[in-house]
Chain A
Amino acid sequence: MEETLNAFVFGICNGGIYSLLAVSYVVIYKSTRVFPFSQAAVLILGAYIMWYCLIAWHLPIWLGFLITCSAGAILGIFIERAFMRRLVGQPILAPIVVTLCLMLLLRGVGILLGKGNIQGFGESFLPVGAWKIGFLHIPEIQVFGFVLCTGLIGALMLFYEKTRVGLAMRIVHEDHVMAQSLGLNVRRVFQYSWVISCVIASIAGMLLGNIQGVGLGLDANGLVAIAAVLFGGLESFAGAIIAGLAIGILQMLTIIYIAPLLPGETTMMIPFILLLLVLFLKPYGLFGLTRIERL
């Protein structure tokens, strides 16, 4: 019982990062209807840039944070401008193949940046240590990561609800052609969503790099977050957040109950089994829009 409860708390903390990543997928999918598989590799780049700032160039943390975020923003602008804008209106396969290839391309850049090794941040920029509350044993690093993620997601939601750009993004989500005819700059909105998503993904990369060590293996988290996005529904922020937390808990429960029974990387496997089940039973996820097609 204690173990299970501990797994729940731990899982929610981990799930915060999955939620953040899932939101970074949803931001793009909502406005452009392109699923950005590439974000799984953007987070590797974010982690490596932060590593360079802290370890190689000895910059203070806040400056490293700023540099990583702006690098993410530039990457977002570049991807949208160089590749995705040319694919508007192409059949569904083209953006899928391009984002998958971008994932591998950015992974290659990651190999070049990291020289093929797994690097650590040296010392963590989040506090290390653990709190003990009763029998619960909670590492601070996870809690601070979770708080940061919730803060970011909250800020993004406020941005979506309260600002003009957020309103424009919601309108573009409804209908591209209608938004264009209302005088909205749809391309600009696409660009904003790529920038926001890439910045979020690189922040998630920083956090994950701090927790798990900087390396190419980080993109496994991005792939697991894909399962979360689908579980929650591709168009729904609420779904992404809930499903991210659920996947985090599921992984921790897997470690306790399933990992002793099955060999290998069960924590990587179980989210994908869940993904298959979701696709079999409720293909559009918890809160996704069911699109009805007409001839």
Chain B
Amino acid sequence: MSINIDRPCGTFDRNYFQAKEIFRTPLRKALLILLLGSMYLLPYLTNDYGISILTIICAYSIGMLGLQIITGYCGQISIGHAAFMGIGMYTVGILQRHFGLSFWACLPLAGLVPMLIGMLFGIPALRIKGLYLAFATLAAHFVIVYVISNWRSVTNGTDGIRMNRPGPLWGIDFSADRNYYFLVLTATVLMVYLATNLTRTKLGRALVAVRDNDIAAEVMGINIAHTKILAFGIGCFFAGIAGALGGAYYEYVNVEWFGLDDSIWFLGFLVVGGFGSIFGAIAGAAVWKIMDELSTLVTPLAETFLGGAAFYASAAFSLVFYALIIIIFLVFEPRGIAHRWQMIKRSYRLHPFPY
């Protein structure tokens, strides 16, 4: 993906100052501030249910950004992303349970521990790529879930661990859902900023080069080993932070929350959102979690038609429905919502003419 893809035809950077700018036009800056402001005002307009959905969307957006860096930017397929998110959750849970640390002390560790483990499981990426790497991450997923569910003395096995919300900071009490949403939203904004800046750095360009053709990238003097391992590390760092924030929201962690399905949905909804764009990652996470809510709405509907059989019907419904949506996107719009959004913007700009 070139950086200029979402620009109108004929807009070029004429000097380094322009190339380094985050906001190309004042209008974009104003729109972004408006969006952020409305995101902070949203919880005052919705009820608790709306706030819970927003919090989860924000937390999963961070996780999805991590996968976007691994898969979307660096091109390394990972079918174990949910497990790394789980490591983040469990890091916080274990540190709180065994050492009584506060959430604020755990949060950086919740990023660093998955980062190290992710770099460890990223080592096969040095020799293999594509399908073979998918196998390696699949195996990583199973190994991680096995360790978590069986190392009972530390992780409490399949019973899960209770977690505490972060303590008050500057007089803000995070046990209230609305205040906690502000925390998660702020973290999301920060992580989005980090990820956006990453794509503008030397490392970010190296990631894209490795994705597009790793041999060519190596010829150009990019240290592939370094870049791939770093991509895994950074991606898993994001996943860990997402896990810590999500787990603290529920105040509970369970190993069943990150099954193989979740890892596959992570990858699938990244496709739905769009590869290689920050907006795509957030869109993918939003679609995923909104669909989750829709599928819980289906359960009472299924109960009226099927009676006692509703439980399995809704489980099957979400599997079939999500899978169909992802496949339809891959067949008809493989570049995802992000690309469609660019098309809409372009057709608006060029309105009377097709191009």
Contact = CB atoms under 8 A, between A and B. Distances in A.
Interface string A243-281: 000000000000000000011110011001101100110
Contact of A104 (B123, B264, B312): B264
A155 interface: no
Contact of A108 (B136, B215, B316, B326): B316
A165 interface: no
Say whether chain B's binding surface is mostly helix, strand, loop, or mixed.
helix
A93 B143 contact: no
Contacts, number: 131
B216 interface: yes
Contacts of A263: 150, 152
Given A90-B334, A108-B318, 10 more contacts: A93-B271, A94-B271, A105-B320, A107-B319, A108-B319, A111-B315, A115-B312, A276-B124, A283-B124, A295-B215
A240 B330 CA distance: 30
Contact of B143 (A86, A273, A280): A273
Given A265-B146, A283-B128, A283-B132, A105 B319 contact: yes
A98 interface: yes
Nearest to A113: B316
A interface SS class = helix
Given A276-B143, A295-B219, A94 B135 contact: no
B322 interface: yes
A180 to B, nearest CB: 22
Interface of B: 71, 75, 77, 79, 123-124, 127-128, 130-132, 134-136, 138-140, 142-143, 146, 149-150, 152, 213, 215-216, 219, 261, 264, 267-268, 271, 275, 309, 311-313, 315-320, 322-324, 326-327, 330-331, 334
A79 B123 CA distance: 34
A293 B214 CA distance: 10
A279 B139 contact: yes
Nearest to A295: B215
Contacts of A130: none
Q: Which of B216, B315, B331 has the most CB of A within 10 A?
A: B331
Contacts of A280: 123-124, 127
Interface residues of A, number: 46
A107 B315 CA distance: 10
Contact of B77 (A96, A265, A284): A96
Query: 5 nearest interchain CB pairs?
Result: A108-B319, A116-B312, A105-B323, A264-B150, A111-B316
